Amino acid sequence: MPLPEEVKKRLIAARRKRLLTAGEYVSGIEKGDRFILSRAITLVESTKEEHRALAREIISKCLSLSGNAFRVGITGVPGVGKSTFIESLGKHVIAGGSKLAVLTIDPTSNVTGGSILGDKTRMEELSADERAFIRPSPAGDSLGGVARKTREVMILCEAAGFDTIFVETVGVGQSETAVHSMTDFFLLLLLPGGGDELQGIKRGIVEMADAIAVNKADAQPAAAKEAKRAYRNAVHLFPAKESGWPVRTFLCSALQREGLDKIWQELRRYRSQSKENGYFELKRRTQALYWFEETIQERLGHAFRKHPAVANKMPELADAVVAGQITPFEAADDLLKLFL
Ligand code: GDP
């Protein structure tokens, strides 16, 4: 006999409140239970130490279940069409039988709420599809913190069976480096017309790209062709990639859903080729080392600032540095002595 609605509601509410054990979270995630996955992600994002400790346990248990997905970074300036592109390409990808998770790194998404990406209703069709899982950027007070959380969320999603992960970022600053260091392939979206300076894109970001797609080719076909040509010439001047992969330039319309199939084929080609020649695995290992070092730095910094004697002395020394009474190096050494 089905449970009465009222009882069901109460059961769900109780389930929602109670923290499960790490094992319960992991077995829920492994079964692909989206509700449990979401709750585990909330723990990863939490600032409470109790939640963080539980999250760490869940992540380390999920690690062996993760790593099999294809991780794609997607970037471009606000308005280039990232969410439209991800919606269109995402639909194409799930139609091909994949399970897709879309994560975001938005360094402007802070603890108090505001963000560049967060306010719009984005990717409505994908959000409604159970083969896709969309999670907005975790909040954080530093890019490093936001990036680390996103990476951990990625591990949970992979353990839950998502075989394709898109990590989107706003192409306005340092966040590309973070996305680049956690994905297998990096796709840069550009607008028709205008060089990278005009589009506010740093050259370093263009150099990071494994493929470039000029979006909105439907609206400005001539300018889009011109941009494609200009970028194709520009990438020839860059030093060859460590992967040996030749960067190609594409035209597409995310809105009209044109040109996406070719781009997806290119990504898949990269995946199989780099797996064959060993670069895929090499890059993953290098990334693991990067995150190892990042985590040490972050944890050390956190422990340092939390240390009572350091926290006590820090404001006084900071004032003295500003007043020119002590050099920054001496002041730092003094604090380090207290810590060590
Ligand atoms: P985001 O800020 O990079 O996520 O950009 P959005 O996906 O929100 O798109 C910004 C605007 O560009 C929206 O009004 C979209 O409808 C529009 N747009 C996105 N892709 C295309 C495209 O391929 N062609 C045209 N004409 N408009 C597009």
pLDDT tens readout for residues 151-177: 999 999 999 999 999 999 875 567 888
- Ligand 1, atom 25, lies closest to the CA of 216
| Per-residue pLDDT at 119 | 46
CA distance 34 to 98: 16
Closest ligand 1 atom, residue 254 Cα: 23
pLDDT tens readout for residues 19-63: 789 999 999 999 999 999 999 999 999 988 889 899 999 999 999
| Per-residue pLDDT at 106 | 81
CA distance 303 to 301: 6
CA of 81 to the centre of ligand 1 (A): 4
CA distance 189 to 89: 13
Pocket test for ligand 1, best of 84, 172, 253 (most atoms within 8 A of CB): 84
Token representation of residue 106? 């938005």
CA distance 13 to 6: 11
Q: Is the pLDDT of residue 116 over 80?
A: no
pLDDT tens readout for residues 187-219: 999 999 766 655 666 778 888 899 999 999 999
Confidence class of residue 10 from pLDDT cuts 50, 70 and 90?
A: low
Q: Is the pLDDT of residue 112 over 60?
A: no
Pocket test for ligand 1, best of 220, 255, 257 (most atoms within 8 A of CB): 255
pTM exceeding the 0.85 threshold for the entire prediction = yes
Q: Is the pLDDT of residue 263 over 90?
A: yes
- According to DSSP, the residues that pair with 112 across neighbouring strands are none
Tell me the domains of the chain and their CATH numbers. Answer: 1-65 (1.20.5.170), 66-277 (3.40.50.300), 290-339 (no CATH)
CA distance 109 to 147: 12
SS3 of residue 272 by DSSP: helix
φ/ψ (deg, to 5) at 294: -60, -45
